[in-house]
């Protein structure tokens, strides 16, 4: 069984882009989503969520973080309802650059589910990924922290072990492998190995043409997913 979210691509500029530059890349991702039919998540700074949502059609605008806060007191925290109202329909949680306690992560996943916000929860190891899978996020990103931004991908055995372990806990979770992803061949490989999706930051922003790199990655994921499905059907 595969996740109903598969296949997908996450375009994650982090805080390298904002304002007009963020929107320009979001619109390139939007064009790729329309052309390929692929589900594409696009992260942006909180202040750009409404701006990007109102100027794109096909991408899923994604917050960089969220908290379990409820309306009321909570000065300076990230209210889920406010993110949803601005246009966010997904959020990253527990990224290596913004870690959460397991207790807060569990509560925030539950709050997101109440509002219809998809969750992309991050884990830095198979052990942590196994623990987080018990909270049933929509997508689980398992990536060794020391590979982030290096251009070096995890070996094939890491990907296949993650897929097997998480599928055994909750086959509805979308499995994302993304550390070190730099090119279309990388996303093709991890999806062929069993991941539901992939994504990148430096692999896209560092490309000569970031918009073209998004298109190449989107097309590669669609191709890999179709080939894997054909192989599995024939087995």
Q: Which residues are catalytic?
A: 95, 143
Residues 105/128, Cβ–Cβ less than 8 Å: no
DSSP state letters, 72-111: SS-TTS--HHHHHHHT--EEEESBTTB---HHHHHHHHHH
Q: How far is CA 182 from the centre of its chain?
A: 15
Taking each helix axis from N to C end, the angle separating 210-234 and 184-192, rounded to the nearest 10 degrees, works out to 20
Rounded CA-CA distance 105/211 in Å is 32
Q: What angle do CA 55, 57, 59 make, to 5 degrees?
A: 105
């Amino acid at each position: 069984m595969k996740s109903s979210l598969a296949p997908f691509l996450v375009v994650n500029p982090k805080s390298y882009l904002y304002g007009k530059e963020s929107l320009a890349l979001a619109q390139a991702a939007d064009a790729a989503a329309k052309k390929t039919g692929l589900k594409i998540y696009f992260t942006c700074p909180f202040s750009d969520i409404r701006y990007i949502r109102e100027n794109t059609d096909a991408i899923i605008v994604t917050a960089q973080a969220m908290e379990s806060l409820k309306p009321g007191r909570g000065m300076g925290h990230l209210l889920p309802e406010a993110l949803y109202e601005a246009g966010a329909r997904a959020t990253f949680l527990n990224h290596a650059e913004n870690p959460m306690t397991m207790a807060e992560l569990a509560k925030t996943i539950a709050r997101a589910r109440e509002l219809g916000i998809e969750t992309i929860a991050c884990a830095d190891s198979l052990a942590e990924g196994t623990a987080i899978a018990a909270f049933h996020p929509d997508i689980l990103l398992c990536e060794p922290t020391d590979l982030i931004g290096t251009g070096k991908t995890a070996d094939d055995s890491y990907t296949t072990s993650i897929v097997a372990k998480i599928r055994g806990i909750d086959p509805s979770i979308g499995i994302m492998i993304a550390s070190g992803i730099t090119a279309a061949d990388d996303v093709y490989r991890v999806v062929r190995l069993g991941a539901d999706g992939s994504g990148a930051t430096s692999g896209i922003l560092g490309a000569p043409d970031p918009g073209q790199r998004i298109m190449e990655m989107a097309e590669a994921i669609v191709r890999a997913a179709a080939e894997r499905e054909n192989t599995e059907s024939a087995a």
